Structure formats: C-alpha cells, structure tokens
Structure 1
Amino acid sequence: MAQAAPPKEYPPLEGSQRTLGTIALSAAVFMNVLDSSIANVSIPAIAGDLGVSSSQGTWVITSFAVANAISLPLTGWLTQRIGQVRLFVWSVLLFVLTSWLCGFAPSLEMLILFRVLQGAVAGPMIPLSQTLMLASYPKAKAGMALALWSMTTLVAPVAGPLLGGWISDNYSWPWIFYINVPVGLVAAWAAWRIYQHRESATRNLPIDKVGLALLVIWVAAFQIMLDKGKELEWFQSGEIILLAVIAFVTFVFFLIWELTDKHPIVDLRLFALRNFTIGCMTLAVAYGVFFGTVVLLPLWLQTTMGYTATYAGLVTAPVGILAIILTPVVGKLLATQDPRRLVTAAFAVFAVVSYLRSGFNTQADIRTIVIPTIIQGAAMAAFFVPLVSITLSGLAPERIPSAAGLSNFVRMSFGAFGTSVATTVWEDRTTLHHAQLTESIHPGNPVADQAIQGLQARGLSLEQALSTINNLIQQQAATLSATDIFYISTGIFLLLIGLVWLARPIRAGGASKEAAGAH
C-alpha cells in the first residue's frame, strides 16, 4: 500500500509575493465562476444563433455545472497524485483551451460537448485556489484570506450577466468564452511563478475506477432526468423513470463502495464530522436556491418584460455593490463573531429579498426590481465566507483539498439542480396560470368582449385582437409563476436559519469543539 509522505508546512507568503499570489488565484476563480453565470443572459442569443429553443439552450449552463460538479470531488485524490500546484496550473491551462473550443462550436451539440470538457477540467480550480490562498496567509488571518477569495466568487456571478449581455448585444456570443484566454494564461503564469516551490507531497495512489464510474453515472443520470423531465412530462415517460432508477441505484452503490474501499476517490468519511456536514449541506441548499433565482431573474426580464440582454445585466449588476463592500468586513468579524450569527443575518436578508420579489408584477419599474437586488448583496457577503469557515473548521491541512473539493461538489451540484428545478417549475407554473387566466376569456364575458371590441376599434382583426390578449395573458402567467418561485424561496431561507444552528460553535483559531475533542 502506498505510504503518505509527511505533509510539508510552508511559511505564509509575504509582501508582493502574497499580493501577486492572491491576484493570480482570484483571477482564476473569477474566470471559473464567471463561466457558470456569463451564459445566463446569453442563452437567447446562443439559442437563436444555433437554431434551438431557449429551454434547450439552458443545457449550456447545466452541462458545465454538472461536469464541474463531477470533477470537483476528485480534487483530493488528484492532488495526492499530481501535487496541488501542478494540478492547479494544468487545470487553468486546460480551461483556457476548452474555452477557446467553446467559442468555435458550430452547433449546440458541439458547444455542450466542449462545455462538458470545460467544466471537467475546471473542477480542481476552486478548491485548490481556496487551499493555496489559506496557505498564503497566517492562520490568524484565515478569515480575511477566505474573504478575499470569496470576493471573486461574489463578483463573478454579478459581472457574468452584465458582461454576457453586453457582449451578446454588441459583439457575438463566442466572445463570452474567448475572454477567458488572456485571463487564464496570465493567471497560470503568475501562479506557477509564485507557488512552484511550494508543491505538496505526492504519492502513487491507485485509481478508484469503480467509484469514479458510479459518480459519473448517478450525477449525469439525475441531471438529465431534471433537464428532460419538463419536455417528457416527467414520470409519465419511460425514459425519465429509467433515468430515475439508474440515478438512485448507482447513488446507493456509490455510497457503499466509497465507504468501504481502501482508496476511495471521494472521502465521504468527512461527513462523519458534524460541522462539515451541516456547513456543506446548508451552503449547498442556499446556493441552489440562490443560483436558481440568479438564472430565473434575467430570463424573466428578457422573455417577459422585454429587456435586452445588456439591460437585464445592468438591472441585476447592483447586487455586487454591498457584496464587495461588506465581504472584507465579514472576514474581520469572523475572528470575533460566531459564524452562525452571520449566516443567520444573511438568510434573513435573503428571505426579505425573496419576499419583496414575490410582489413583482408586469408593471414593475426599474426601482422596484433594483432595490431587492442591491439589498441581496449584503446577504451574499455574509453567508458564503462564514459557511465555508464552518465547513472547514478543525480539519488537518492535508484534508482541506478533499474537504474543499467535496463541499464545492455538493454546492455546484445543487446549483445545477437549482437551475433545472427553477426553470422547470417556472414553465409548469406558467402553463397552469395561463390556463387559469384564460378560463374567463370566452364570448359573452363582458370584460373579454369589451377588450376585444376595443382592440378591433384600433384596426385589429378578431384574430389579431385575440393574439394580443393571449400575449398579455402569457406575460401575466410567466410573472405569476416567477413570483411563486420567489415566495417559495422565502420559506426555504427561513428554514435554513434553523439548520445552521445545528453546527457546533467554532473556537478561536477556526477549530470546532467537535474537532478539538477529537484531537
């Protein structure tokens, strides 16, 4: 059996080295997270150019997210085989190559293939940037290191829709992928220059082929089931039933295999730690709900409210204002405050924002839409860093890459699932509301007859008048459906407040009482 080399402890970076390392790691993370959101407002442009529906176009988002989620938990195993610095740099360089290929994709099928490859090679980037960032700073400044790291994860989802919309309206959608090339090359060069002499110990671990195959099968089957469900009428379809059975059976076998194998590709034993489990699951559910609404809002603005891609991006961009301002403050507060209190405040704000959005209507003006968006920035700043702190509390340095990879896998999986669920529920509820609203539109109804006569008086034929009324009903139905989702989100965030308090309090230095007792 391969013996683990003793973990190497490197002193924190100082001065310009730390600054350049922080910038390099942040740029790589920014590029990665940007690609998970930049296509959101560009879906109509991509779908139109490639001759597919907007519903099919959402595969551009979910294909990346699923492949990324599958490769994330492999980070710990790959780090022990390759070394965290080499793995990080190779991940960035391959991400640049696949981004370039995405821009050249001539069809939706090819674009999805390249997005799958892009997501797969991007997996190790986020957890390893987290690991390298923490190692670059003294332990006393771990909260600030996480805050600086998370700044990019907060800014990128904001910049993504804005940048994607501007590029789609003024250039062409392939440029949303081409912009990764210069950023990635510079980030890889700088990271190698700073960290090449701080490589982690490696060992020749056997490949857990069975675990990897089971992981790919159950995640892919579950995601395809979610994406295809709305088209195939869910469990009325034999294909959906088959996918559900495959996902469930392979997931059960995956759990059994990984918990009993000597060299599991995913360290599921981390879930034996209460803080890892509570922090990981709370962050995942919150991120799934958050990301689902991040995808839904620009789609609603463009398809229902008549916004251009650029304008939809501008309306959603102010969410970054408070996030950028408050994230460093949250990093400092982590040194003295219970992170559970910060998360509670964040979820309360998320609930308020969702509740405000549940009151949107087809007459909503810019001010009505932007105010909740600005407020949401405060919640974004206060939920991510504290939950990461809870999740990684008390772990030995050599377990952090595995823990970061696994927690990010669960988070990204829930982000992909949240997107699928949000778009599916939106379409289903839109159909339901449309049917309910049209029940009263029939000959003999005074309101309907008056509306039709008014439109005909303006020169429209009967068919044109009915089509105009149907479009108005569709707009109203889509809006009611979106507000349903925002209302449900309110309740979920309130329930998550109770969940986070199941975690144990963290002592000074980042160790939980549970971990301290274990030592």
Structure 2
Amino acid sequence: MTTNASSPAPADEPAARPAPGGPPATHPPLQGGQRVLGTIALSAAVFMNVLDTSIANVSLPAISGDLGVSTSQGTWVITSFAVANAIALPLTGWLTMRFGQVRLFIASVLLFIVASWLCGLAPNLESLIAFRVLQGLVAGPMIPLSQTLMLGSYPREKSGMALAFWAMTTLVAPVAGPLLGGWISDNYSWPWIFYINIPVGLAAAWVSWSIYHKRESPIRKLPIDTMGLVLLVVWIAALQIMLDKGKELDWFASGTIVTLAVVAVVGFVFFVIWELTDRHPVVDLRLFAGRNFTVGALTLSIAYAVFFGNVVLLPLWLQTQMGYTATDAGLVTAPIGLLAIVFTPIVGRMLARTDPRILVTIAFGVFAGVSFMRSNFTPQADIVTLLEPTVLQGAGMAAFFVPLVSLTLAGLPPDKIASASGLSNFLRITAGAFGTSISTTMWEDRAAMHHAHLTEHIASGSGATSQALSTMQGAGMSPGQALASINNLITGQALTMSVVDIFYGSAIIFLVLTAMVWLAKPGKRGAGAPADAGGAH
C-alpha cells in the first residue's frame, strides 16, 4: 500500500483534527486573518450546501407549475437531492484517503457549482431530477470535510468555538432559504435558486484553496467496497421511488410498486449480510452493537424525518390552500432559525457540563409543543398564529442536533468516530428524504378521506346544502358552478384537516422520542465534549 504523505510539521506544533477516515494531519492551527478568512470560506460552502436543502421548499409550486407536473411529483426535486447526498456520505472517508481532504473538498465545491448551473438549465422534471441527483452526489463530502478543516484551523482548546461557528452557518441557511427561495420565485424565476450558488461557490473554493492547499492530508490507496455500494444504491433508490410513486400508482395494487418493494427488501437483506462480512465495508454496521450509537442514530433519524417532513409540508399548505405567495410562505417559515442562532452557543457551553439527554428532552418537548400548536391551525389563522410556533421551534433546534450527535458518538474509540459520523449522517439525510415523501403522501391520503366524510353531509336534500346552492345561484352561478364552488370549499377544508392531522401525529412522535432518548447512557462530559461530536452533521 503506497502512502504519499505531506512533509511533517515540527514536533512541537499541535496537530490538526484528523480527516474523516484518514490518518491524523500534522498541520498547526491557522492564525489571525487566515483563520478568519478560512472560517468564512468554509462557512460559505456549508451555507450554500444547506441552503439548497431548504430553498426549493417554497419554490416547489412554481417549479411544478412551470414544468407541468403535480406538487407531489415536484417533491422529487427535494428527495432526489437528499437521497443522492446520503448515498455519497459513506464514501467520504474512502475518497479522502484516496485524494486528500483539501482536494476533495475543493472538487466537491466546484462540481456542486456545475451541477447547480445544470439544474437551472433543466427543461423538464426528469432532467432536473437527474441534475439534482448529481448535485447531491458531489455535495456529499462537502459538509463533513468543511467541519474537519474548520476544526483543524483552531487550537484544540478552541474546538468548541469552531463547532459553534460551523453550527451557526447550518442554522442561518434554513432561515435564509425560504426567504430567498420565495423572493426569487416571486420576482424572477425558479432557476435562479440554483444560479446563486455559482458566485458563492467560486469565492469559497478560491479562498479555501489559497489557504488550505498546503495543509493536505496524507493519501492512501485503499480498496472500495463496490458490491456494498451497489447494493446500497439499489435498495435506497428502490425504496425512495416506491414512496414517491406509491400514491400515483395506487400502492400495492400496482405491479411496479410490488416489484420496487421486493427489490428494496431483498437489496437491504443482501446489503446487511455483505457489509457484516466484508473486510472494508462501505458502511460499518457493527457500530449498531453500541447502545448509544443505536439509540442516538435512530432517534436523530426519526426526529429529523418528522421535522423535515413538516418543514416541506407547511409552505406547501400555505401556498396551495391559504393563498400565500412564495415570499409570504418564506416569511412564515424562515424565523425557525432565529432562536436557534441565539441559543446554539449557549447550548454548546452547557453541553460540557450537562447530561445531553436532558437537552434533547427539552428540544423534543419544544418540538411536541410546536406541533400541538400547529394542530390547531384553521383556514382563518392569521400571520401571528402561524409565526408563533415557527419562532419557538428555533429554541428546540438549538438543543437538538449537537447534543444528540454528542450522545450518539459518546464512548466510541477515535478510529471509529469518522465511520460513525458518516453512518449517522447517512441515516439522518435518508430519513429526511423518506419523511418528505411520507408526509406529502399522507397529506393527500388523509385529505381524500376527509373529503369523502365531509361530502357525506352535503346530501342534495339537506336544508343547508339547498340554501347554499340557492344563495350561489341567486348570485348568478349556474347549478354546476355552485356545486363546483362547494366542492372546492370542501377540498380546501379537507386538506387543512389533513395537515392538522399530520401536525398532531408529529407531536405524539416527539413525545415518544423524548422517552426513547433515555435508553442511551450519558456520555462523559467535559471540555472536549463538543469537539468529540465533530464531523457528525
């Protein structure tokens, strides 16, 4: 096995954090202006990446309308990116060893720019989904490597500060995404939600290369688990397509859905068997032997699936049923990060001396309360009623990600942190994609059920129906137009009742997760606790 390592630093220089999956680097922390510029450049790249997971949410109706597809089909724009991104994550460690963390990071940013440009040029849904898949694949290494480089830029005693800067970026992007996406959709055209990545990405890549190109990690040639990767792609893709197409094809009444289900199950079984027996697995499933990792990773994944499903569903409901423009829907959903930005540094300091299970319990309590508040929404809800739970949710976000990741990685040996981070990220992002598909499908299914129940009470012989029809016809409507108007009112009410059902169900799930997190053991607390969670987002 050949190793091309960079020249070692003097023995008295402190070592930087290791790259995911690679040997420790030997570069000292950055100083002064270089550290500031490096932090800004890495944060800009993360901002661009995370922004693309939220900016399309409020633009879905515009994209779907322009491309002539339904809103449920348009959600593929979100899920295709998320699934491809999740599949690429387990490869980050191997790619880092093969090409070096700096070269891989810069390549990821530049390829992300190209993929964004192609997304903006897409003439139809099929090509847009293909380019979003490409965008998700090349974006995979960007977030874990940005965190690795950020930690290596700071002295060990300031690693908590480095993580705070990094986490702040991931929280600002969801705030800016809905606002920016809505404003662009209303004032320009949806392709510009992708074109804006080009100047940001070019600047981030240039500054990052100028600062970090002499801080490359060692390169090693290792075999890749090709069969494991193929099986991973097969079962994840089959399951996601089944979830996205199920409603359209009438679920298991369709031979296509049955086939996809069989492929997903068989592919998953063979994937598990192969990964447990291969010498260099692409996903280290033996990590699930640890209680903390299993409880933490599953809790994080389920919570993120519910959280992200609601983040996608809320603006869809606002635009399709409440008459909100994309900009207004963005204004309602954007404040989700305001309190998160304020409280994240505080939670970071508390984590060193507080049981992370307590912080996560508080977070899930807030999420449950927010979901209960939203379960009381009506078509007459004003802007204040809509904004209150969104603002409060930010407080829960601050105590959600970092403490739960810290709990997930607690007790793992250093050489397992990178693999655990990659697997945890993979589960979280895949769950987010599934959550989007499941929530939109449930919304339509529950709406159809409520529509059927409501129409049972609108019998043609009832007094209320006759009076409503008479009033409408007296206003100049034909009998057909009056019936159509009543049907539209029923449809709107059914969709609102459906979204309220999902919010209520989300609250119950968060309460269950509140108990589930206590199955984990409390991790060791101390000054290094936040840093040990690095690389897991």
Report the TM range for the smaller structure's normalisation: over 0.9
Secondary structure of 2:219's partner? coil
- 1:10 to 2:19 alignment: no
Residue type at the aligned position of 2:246: G
CA contact (8 A) 1:293 1:486 kept: yes
Change (3 A) 1:397 1:198: farther
Distance 1:185 1:356 in 2: 42
| Residue number in structure 2 paired with 1:61 | 78
CA–CA distance in 2 between the matches of 1:259 and 1:405? 17
Aligned to 1:436: 453
What is the alpha-carbon distance in structure 1 between the residues aligned to residue 223 and residue 169 of structure 2? 35
What is the aligned-residue RMSD (CA, Å)? 1.9
Residues 69-218 of structure 1 aligned to structure 2 (within 5 Å): 69-218=86-235
Among 359, 362, 371, the residue aligned to 1:342: 359
For residue 287 of structure 2, the aligned residue among 250, 266, 270 is: 270
- What corresponds to 2:432 in structure 1? 415
Q: What is the CA-CA distance between 1:304 and the residue it aligns to?
A: 0.7
Moved more, 284-293 or 455-464: 455-464
Can you list the C-alpha shifts for 1:457-486, whole angstroms capped at 9, x where unaligned?
222121111111111111110000001000
How far has the Cα of 1:142 moved from its partner? Answer: 3.5
Matched, 1:279 2:296: yes
Pair 1:355 & 2:375 matched: no
Alignment correspondent of 1:36? 53
Report the identity percentage. Answer: 71
Secondary structure (helix, strand or coil) at the match of 1:13 reads coil
- Residue 196 of structure 1 and its aligned partner are, at CA, apart by 2.1
Which residue identity lines up with residue 152 of structure 2 in the other structure?
A
1:427 and 2:433 equivalent?
no
What whole-Å deviation, never above 9, does each CA across 1:166-190 have from its counterpart, x for those lacking one?
1011001110000000111111122
Aligned AA for 1:200? S
Moved more, 324-333 or 386-395: 386-395
> 1:2, CA displacement in angstroms?
7.1
Q: Is 2:40 the counterpart of 1:23?
A: yes
Q: Which runs of 5+ in 2 are unaligned?
A: 4-20
Please tell me whether residue 318 in structure 1 is matched to residue 339 in structure 2: no
Shift in CA distance, 493/454, structure 1 to aligned 2, threshold 3 Å: same
Q: Deviations over 1:15-68 (max 9, x none)?
A: 323222222221111111111111111111111111222221111111111111
Question: For the residues of structure 2 that align with 1:5 and 1:224, how far apart are their CA atoms?
Answer: 34
AA aligned opposite 1:125: M
Residue 476 of structure 2 is matched in structure 1 by 459
Q: 2:318 aligns with which of 301, 304, 311?
A: 301
Distance in 1, Cα, partners of 2:73 & 2:22: 48
Residues in 1 aligned to 2:91 and 2:262: alpha-carbon distance in whole angstroms: 25
Cα deviation code 1:191-241 (max 9, x no counterpart):
222222322222111121111110110110000000011111111111111
| Partners of 2:406 and 2:529 within 8 A in 1 | no
Q: 1:425 to 1:253 in 2, by over 3 A?
A: same
Equivalent-residue separation in structure 2 for 1:15 and 1:390 (angstroms): 33
Q: State the distance in 2 between where 1:273 and 1:343 align.
A: 19
Is contact 2:72–2:441 with CA below 8 Å preserved after alignment?
A: no
Superposed, 1:427-506 pairs within 5 Å as 427-506=444-523
Give CA deviations for 1:472-512 in whole Å, capped at 9, x if unaligned: 11111000000100001001111111222222222224469
Please, which moves more after superposition, 179-188 or 331-340?
A: 331-340
Comparing 372-381 and 259-268, the one that deviates more: 259-268
> Are the counterparts in 2 of residues 128 and 401 from structure 1 also a CA contact under 8 Å?
no
1:149 Cα deviation after fit: 1.4
Report which stretch shifted further, 418-427 or 332-341.
Answer: 332-341
Q: For 1:207-246, what aligned pairs fall within 5 Å after superposition?
A: 207-246=224-263
Deviations 1:377-423 (A, max 9, x none): 10111101111222333445554443322211111100000000000
Cα distance in 1 between the residues matched to 2:294 and 2:32? 36
Deviations 1:308-360 (A, max 9, x none): 11111011112121111111111111222222111111110000000000011
Tell whether the 8 Å contact from 1:2 to 1:205 is kept in structure 2 after alignment.
Answer: no
* Cα distance, 1:5 vs structure 2: 8.1
Q: Aligned partners of 1:92, 1:401: CA distance in 2, in Å? A: 21
Please tell me the residue identity of whatever aligns with 1:146: L
Please say which of residues 448-457 and 355-364 is displaced more in the overlay.
448-457
> Which has the higher mean CA deviation after the structures are superposed, 154-163 or 205-214?
154-163
Structure 1 residue runs without a partner (length 5+) = none
TM-score (norm 2): 0.92
Q: Could you report, residue by residue, the CA deviation over 1:262-286 in whole angstroms, capped at 9, with x for unpaired residues?
A: 1112222333333332222221111
| Corresponding residue number in structure 2 for 1:380 | 397
- Residue 132 and residue 278 in structure 1: after superposition, are their counterparts in 2 closer, same or farther (change >3 A)? farther
Instruction: Give the deviation of 1:291 after TM superposition.
Output: 0.3
Which letter does structure 1 place at the counterpart of 2:344?
T
Contact 2:252 2:258 survives alignment (8 Å):
yes
Q: Secondary structure at the match of 1:318?
A: helix
Q: Which stretch of the first structure deviates more once superposed, 419-428 or 18-27?
A: 18-27
Shift of the 137–269 alpha-carbon distance from structure 1 to 2, 3 Å rule, reads: farther
Taking the aligned partners of 1:262 and 1:196, their CA distance within structure 2 comes to 32
Counterpart Cα distance in 1 of 2:244 and 2:495: 19
Please give the TM-score of this superposition, normalised by the length of structure 1: 0.95
Instruction: Give the distance between the partners of 1:361 and 1:346, measured in 2 at CA.
Output: 26
